[in-house]
Structure 1
Amino acid sequence: MHVIVVGAGAVGQAIAANLEDSHDVVVIDPDSDIVEKLNYSHDVLAVRGDGTELGTLREAGIERADLVIASTDSDETNVVICGAAKAAGDAFTIARVRRRTLLETWEGSRGAFGVDFMVCTDLLTARAIFRIAGLPAAHDVDMFVGGLVRMAEFEIGPESPVAGTTVADADRWDSLTFAGIFRDDEMIVASGDTELRAGDRIVVIGSPHSVTDFSTDIAAPDTASPDEVVVVGGSEIGFQTAREFEEHGYSPRLIERDPDRARECAEALPDTMVLQSDGTDAEFLAREHVDEADVVVAALDGDEKNLLVSLLARRLGVDRTVAVIENLEYADLFETVGIDVAINPREETAEEIVRFTRAEHTEKIAMLEHDRAEVIEIEVGPDSALVDGPIADVTNDLPSGVVVGAISRGGELITPRGETTIEPGDHVVCFVDGDVLEEVLEAI
Structure 2
Amino acid sequence: MKITIIGAGKVGIEIAHRLAEEGHDIVVIDRNEAQLTKIHETLDVLTVKGNGSSSQLLRDTGLDDSDLLVSVTDSDEINMISCMTAKRVGITRAIARIRDPDYARDLIISKEDLGIDLVINPDYAASQEISRLLTLNLPVHTEHFANGRVQMAELMVEESNTHFANKRIMDIDLPKSCLIVGISHRGEMNVPGGKDFVHANDTIYVLGNSESIKKICARFKIRRQRVQNVILMGGGRIGLYLAEKLSKTGMKVKIIEQNMDRCQELANRLDDVLVLRGDGTDVDLLRREGIHETDAFVAVTGFDEENLLMALLAKQLGAKRVIAKVSRPSYAPLVERLGVDSAISPRLITIGEILRFIRGGRLLSLVLLLNEQAEVLEVIAQPGSRIVGRPLYQSGLPRGVIIGAISRGDKAIIPKGNDIIQEGDRLVVFALGHVVHTVEALCGQGDVVD
TM-score under structure 1 length normalisation: 0.88
Q: 1:166–1:335: structure 2 CA closer, same or farther, 3 Å change rule?
A: closer
Q: 1:411–1:66: structure 2 CA closer, same or farther, 3 Å change rule?
A: farther
What secondary structure is seen at the aligned counterpart in 2 of 1:252?
strand
**How far apart in 2 are the matches of 1:43 and 1:151?**
34
> Does structure 1 residue 234 correspond to structure 2 residue 232?
no
Q: Is 2:4–2:28's contact at 8 Å kept on the other side of the alignment?
A: yes
> Does structure 1 residue 51 correspond to structure 2 residue 55?
no
**Match for residue 202 of structure 2 among 200, 203, 212:** 200
Q: Is 1:135–1:212's contact at 8 Å kept on the other side of the alignment?
A: no
- The offset of 1:19, in angstroms, is 2.4
Q: 1:171–1:295: structure 2 CA closer, same or farther, 3 Å change rule?
A: same
Q: 1:307–1:181: structure 2 CA closer, same or farther, 3 Å change rule?
A: closer
- Give aligned pairs, total: 439
Gaps of 5+ in 1: none
What secondary structure is seen at the aligned counterpart in 2 of 1:355?
helix
Q: Is 1:136–1:220's contact at 8 Å kept on the other side of the alignment?
A: no
Q: Which residue of 1 aligns with 2:14?
A: 14
**How far apart in 1 are the matches of 2:405 and 2:105?**
32
- The offset of 1:357, in angstroms, is 4.1
**Amino acid in structure 1 at the alignment position of 2:70:** I
**Amino acid in structure 1 at the alignment position of 2:422:** E
Q: Is 1:137–1:155's contact at 8 Å kept on the other side of the alignment?
A: no
Q: Is 2:330–2:371's contact at 8 Å kept on the other side of the alignment?
A: no
Q: Which residue of 1 aligns with 2:448?
A: none
Q: 1:358–1:178: structure 2 CA closer, same or farther, 3 Å change rule?
A: farther
Q: Which residue of 2 aligns with 1:2?
A: 2
**Amino acid in structure 2 at the alignment position of 1:378:** V
Q: How does 1:7-406 map to 2 (within 5 A)?
A: 7-22=7-22, 23-58=24-59, 61-109=62-110, 111-132=112-133, 134-138=137-141, 141-160=142-161, 161-170=163-172, 172-214=174-216, 216-221=217-222, 224=225, 226-333=227-334, 336=337, 339-358=340-359, 361-394=362-395, 397-406=396-405
Q: 1:56–1:245: structure 2 CA closer, same or farther, 3 Å change rule?
A: same
Q: Which residue of 2 aligns with 1:443?
A: 442
- Aligned CA-pair RMSD: 2.8
**Amino acid in structure 2 at the alignment position of 1:125:** A
Q: Is 2:101–2:237's contact at 8 Å kept on the other side of the alignment?
A: no
Q: Is 1:231–1:298's contact at 8 Å kept on the other side of the alignment?
A: yes
- The offset of 1:421, in angstroms, is 3.2
What secondary structure is seen at the aligned counterpart in 2 of 1:37?
helix
Could you tell me the percent identity over the aligned residues?
36
**How far apart in 2 are the matches of 1:177 and 1:248?**
34
**Amino acid in structure 1 at the alignment position of 2:112:** G
Q: Which residue of 1 aligns with 2:433?
A: 434
Q: Is 2:166–2:199's contact at 8 Å kept on the other side of the alignment?
A: yes
What secondary structure is seen at the aligned counterpart in 2 of 1:113?
coil
**How far apart in 2 are the matches of 1:269 and 1:213?**
39
Q: 1:407–1:144: structure 2 CA closer, same or farther, 3 Å change rule?
A: same
Deviates more, 1:117-126 or 1:37-46: 37-46
- The offset of 1:284, in angstroms, is 1.1
Q: Is 2:156–2:336's contact at 8 Å kept on the other side of the alignment?
A: no
> Does structure 1 residue 408 correspond to structure 2 residue 407?
yes
**How far apart in 1 are the matches of 2:253 and 2:302?**
20
What secondary structure is seen at the aligned counterpart in 1 of 2:73?
coil
What secondary structure is seen at the aligned counterpart in 1 of 2:430?
strand
Q: Is 1:177–1:405's contact at 8 Å kept on the other side of the alignment?
A: yes
- CA deviation profile, 1:363-407 (whole Å, cap 9, x unmatched): 21111243322111112211222212333443xx22222222222
**How far apart in 2 are the matches of 1:294 and 1:25?**
46
Q: Is 2:375–2:434's contact at 8 Å kept on the other side of the alignment?
A: no
**How far apart in 2 are the matches of 1:218 and 1:57?**
58
Q: Is 2:140–2:342's contact at 8 Å kept on the other side of the alignment?
A: no
Q: 1:225–1:401: structure 2 CA closer, same or farther, 3 Å change rule?
A: farther
**Amino acid in structure 2 at the alignment position of 1:422:** I
**Amino acid in structure 1 at the alignment position of 2:398:** P
- The offset of 1:332, in angstroms, is 4.0
- CA deviation profile, 1:406-437 (whole Å, cap 9, x unmatched): 22334543443444433222222111222654
TM-score under structure 2 length normalisation: 0.87
**How far apart in 2 are the matches of 1:308 and 1:430?**
33
Q: Is 2:391–2:418's contact at 8 Å kept on the other side of the alignment?
A: yes
**How far apart in 2 are the matches of 1:342 and 1:391?**
33
**How far apart in 1 are the matches of 2:251 and 2:30?**
42
**How far apart in 1 are the matches of 2:439 and 2:305?**
40
Q: 1:13–1:436: structure 2 CA closer, same or farther, 3 Å change rule?
A: closer
Deviates more, 1:143-152 or 1:116-125: 143-152
